[in-house]
Chain A
Amino acid sequence: MRTDFQIIQAWIDSHSRVLDLGCGDGSFLKYLKEHKQTQGYGLEIDPENIERCIEKGINVIEQDLDKGLSNFIDNSFDTVLMAQALQAVHYPHLVLEEMLRIGRECIITFPNFGHWRCRLYLTQRGKMPVSKFMPYTWYNTPNIHFCTFKDFEELCQQKQVRILNRMVVDQTHRGDWISRLMPNLFGEIAIYHLTR
């Protein structure tokens, strides 16, 4: 299992209801279903991923996050999860609001654009960073809303969102002492556990 999922799964209660926004091939939901007897759904738009979910026996709904989540009623889930998709939605702040409306808690992970390597790339080359981790060029990337660890904290503060847990990890999803000390500079992936 991906290491960010290993961290996240500890925050999800057994027998809880989980909504996974951008659920990919459904691996994480399958893990939760098998190990924590959760009930829930994945939202996905990629046909290949949707088919993988169906094969796995995961409830998958073809739905575009950018078209809203108004079909989900208030407080209908224990946890609403969005892993590595915040940077790809049109209005991240609206999605965050919706996640907190639908779920009691929510979990969000995103690539931290404030990481030193991004900063170095931009200052040295004067170009948008392209890496193995984020392999797209600026014009064809699905990642249209990059933010930093600090930006996201500000958004949470502004929206009066309570942060239950937060972690930053590197590409291999390990959290070392230096990234704990200076998360915006040394964390590559930000992982947030939020509630209202």
Chain B
Amino acid sequence: MPEQIPPDSVGLVEPQLAIFNSPLELTCGQTLSHYELAYETYGQLNSNKSNGILICHALSGHHHAAGYHSMEDRKPGWWDNYIGPGKPIDTNHFFVVALNNLGGCHGSTGPNSVNPDSKKLYGPEFPIVTVKDWVKSQARLADMLGIQQWAAVIGGSLGGMQALQWSIDYPDRLKHAVVIASAPKLTAQNIAFNEVARQAIMSDEGFHQGWYKQQNDYPKKGLMLARMVGHITYLSDDAMRQKFGRDLRSGKINFDFGAEFQVESYLRYQGEIFSENFDANTYLLMTKALDYFDPAKDYNDDLVAALRQAKCQFFIMSFTTDWRFLPERSKEIVDALLSAKKDVSYLDINAPEGHDAFLLPIPRYKNAFKAYLARVADEVKSNEN
């Protein structure tokens, strides 16, 4: 709970709901006739609506990216380190939009929404959504807000994939794409991790083939396991060693299977919190969207050809110890952009924290991010006059 709102916070914010009644055709072939997107905005939209920044969330993120919902909030939004007055995504200059993607479990239409056709919860019947679908739905949100062109679309990890897809699918609708700790598509190893997470959920007896809500149940253990696997891959070996080492909770080895090491109890705790706050069907959907992401596929598996569509400038960042989304994967994007003769800057930030680094206030990352967006803000200003 913040005793008082810090001066560089966007302060108390309230989520909003955008309602769409025009059907959305999805990549999987199904159509959503009606859908809703939960979103938040920070800062003021300028008169020519040119200072909009779209924040795309990662796997378990949502629309609450910055500020607090109430004075009782334990923590601010998930990217509060980077969004606010004077922060890299400076709300003194930008109108920031963050949303919960379709299929999500924090207010947007998803497995826990009522299917308007059957009048029942979607549950496991919610269609598989892709990054492409999300981008399409985000474009409609932009239309609704009157934003023809984003000053920038920004995202980390799965969010970076959305920024990349934006640049290809809607080249005229963004000036800059900031792609952080991301990849042009997943590796087999990454898909394997996602599959372990999905199997953990689906094999939990509380899963009930996805109809757990009807049974007043949920796959708690499965979600915990899925999160634990995920968490391990988001941290680096070094980060774990520094955080926990081999410290024992009770100071001695007990020769049993309780949580003896600090790292074990940490993972169990994180898993538990997550299982109470995240929907199992949404987790399955989000990991599938990750697995399916492959913008080059529409262009004969040629990423250069795909990125040739883009008109925006790119800013790509990776982190040296990120082994879930290796710097090499970001470099693949950079190299494709070089070959496509696009404007691109790339930084590989030395950080021991692994994939999670993209959410942390790392000085070099923060400074470079700030420098880049200061220039975007200047561009917005010079176009205003």
The majority secondary structure among interface residues of chain B is helix
Produce 1/0 per residue, A48-63, CB < 8 A to B. Answer: 0011011101111111
Q: Are A62 and B348 in contact (CB under 8 A)?
A: yes
Cα distance A61–B344 in the bound complex, in angstroms: 8
Range of interface residues on chain B?
20 to 34
The majority secondary structure among interface residues of chain A is mixed
- Knowing A41-B344, A50-B347, A61-B346 are in contact, say whether A71-B375 is a contact too (CB < 8 A): no
Which of B12-20, B334-342, B351-359 touches A?
Answer: B334-342
Q: Are A55 and B371 in contact (CB under 8 A)?
A: yes
B residues at A contact (CB < 8 Å) = 315, 331, 334-335, 338-339, 341, 343-348, 364, 367-368, 371-372, 374-375
Cα distance A71–B303 in the bound complex, in angstroms: 14
A50, closest chain B residue (CB): B347
- Knowing A61-B344, A62-B346 are in contact, say whether A71-B331 is a contact too (CB < 8 A): yes
Q: Are A57 and B375 in contact (CB under 8 A)?
A: yes
Check A76 for interface membership: any CB of B closer than 8 A.
yes
Cα distance A29–B192 in the bound complex, in angstroms: 44
Cα distance A9–B374 in the bound complex, in angstroms: 29
- Knowing A54-B368, A54-B375 are in contact, say whether A62-B347 is a contact too (CB < 8 A): yes
Check A47 for interface membership: any CB of B closer than 8 A.
yes
With both chains docked as a complex, state the minimum distance between the C-beta of B57 and any C-beta of chain A, in angstroms. 25
B369, closest chain A residue (CB): A54
Q: Are B339 and A76 in contact (CB under 8 A)?
A: yes
Q: Are A73 and B339 in contact (CB under 8 A)?
A: yes
Q: Are B341 and A53 in contact (CB under 8 A)?
A: no
7 contacts between A and B (CB under 8 A): A53-B345, A57-B375, A61-B344, A62-B346, A62-B347, A71-B334, A76-B341
Check A195 for interface membership: any CB of B closer than 8 A.
no
Cα distance A59–B342 in the bound complex, in angstroms: 10
Further 5 A-B residue pairs, CB within 8 A, beyond A41-B338, A47-B364, A50-B368: A54-B375, A60-B345, A61-B344, A62-B346, A76-B341
